[in-house]
Amino acid sequence: MDIQLNFVNRSNDANNSSIVIFQKNVATDFDELAIAWKVIRNCGQGDNHPFKFPMTMNVSASDSYGNYMPQQPASNGQVFQIVRSTSGDVLTLGTEPGNSSEVQVRNDLPNGAANATIYKDGSPLATKTSIAPGQKAVFQFKPTLWIGVASQIEQGALLNSAVISDINTELSLLGIASADIVMTGGGPGPRSLPFTFRLEHVVMA
């Protein structure tokens, strides 16, 4: 089931700020950078921007030779392997189950580092680069979205640590079927309020 979300701009922002939405890979250490999963631009005062948050995700990988392997559906508990087949390097679903709350991608190539990326709704959600042979990438996500205001961020780009530390609103989607994400605050001059985001019109699944 997809979660139907609707961003609503009720702020006093006149700077046409971009809204950045992302998830954090909680399976890794904190120095790993997040990806701007969705960037909402030019959403004026009173405008709204509907989008969906799928429960499903896809995984893909690339090797040190610049080859990109097609996306495959991925579910928690699955372990994918990057292996060298008779045709070249491929991403295959392993037969061994993994941790039930994680997706794992293992580099089983004889040589060369690999990269693994998780996608949601066609956009990159998280990535792990430079996975050495014999090592694995581990992806685990809580049912939450991080949302905030940022400038000059491209959808699909890595967020630097300064942007991530500025964005401190975490919205739980647990058990939700649909909701509005309402932004308030902002405004000109020293009396402007900080931007706040909250869920309204929540329909539980």
Share of the chain above pLDDT 70, in %: 99
CA torsion angle 181 161 118 168 (round to 10): -20
Per-residue pLDDT band for 1 (boundaries 50, 70, 90) equals confident
Strands 18-22 and 193-204: unpaired
- Give the angle subtended at the CA of 72 by the CAs of 68 and 62, to the nearest 5°: 20
Q: Where are the chain's structural domains? A: 6-54+142-204, 57-139
Q: Is 15 helix (H, G, I), strand (E, B) or coil?
A: coil
Neighbours of 30 (CB within 10 A): 8
The Cα–Cα gap between 111 and 89 comes to 11
For residue 9, is pLDDT > 80?
A: yes
The Cα–Cα gap between 136 and 76 comes to 15
pLDDT digits (tens, 9 = 90+) for 71-118: 999 999 999 999 999 999 999 999 988 999 999 999 999 999 999 999
Record the tokens describing residue 170, joined without a space: 């975490």
- Position 31 scores a pLDDT of 62
Phi, psi of 161 (to 5 degrees): -65, -30
Strand partners, 119: 58, 124
Report the predicted TM-score, pTM, of the whole model to 2 decimal places.
0.94
- Position 159 scores a pLDDT of 93
Q: Is 165 helix (H, G, I), strand (E, B) or coil?
A: helix
- Position 30 scores a pLDDT of 58
Contact, 58 vs 74, CB < 8 A?
Answer: yes
pLDDT digits (tens, 9 = 90+) for 11-52: 998 888 999 999 999 997 656 789 999 999 999 999 999 999
pLDDT digits (tens, 9 = 90+) for 113-154: 999 999 999 999 999 999 999 999 999 999 999 999 998 899
- Position 28 scores a pLDDT of 78
- Position 78 scores a pLDDT of 97
Contact, 115 vs 129, CB < 8 A?
Answer: yes
Q: Is 204 helix (H, G, I), strand (E, B) or coil?
A: strand
- Position 81 scores a pLDDT of 98
Record the tokens describing residue 149, joined without a space: 């205001």
Question: Counting Cβ atoms within 10 Å, is residue 66 exposed (0-12), middle (13-18) or buried (19+)?
Answer: exposed
Share of the chain above pLDDT 90, in %: 85
- Position 114 scores a pLDDT of 97
DSSP secondary structure code for residue 188 in this structure: S
Contact, 54 vs 120, CB < 8 A?
Answer: yes
The Cα–Cα gap between 83 and 145 comes to 33
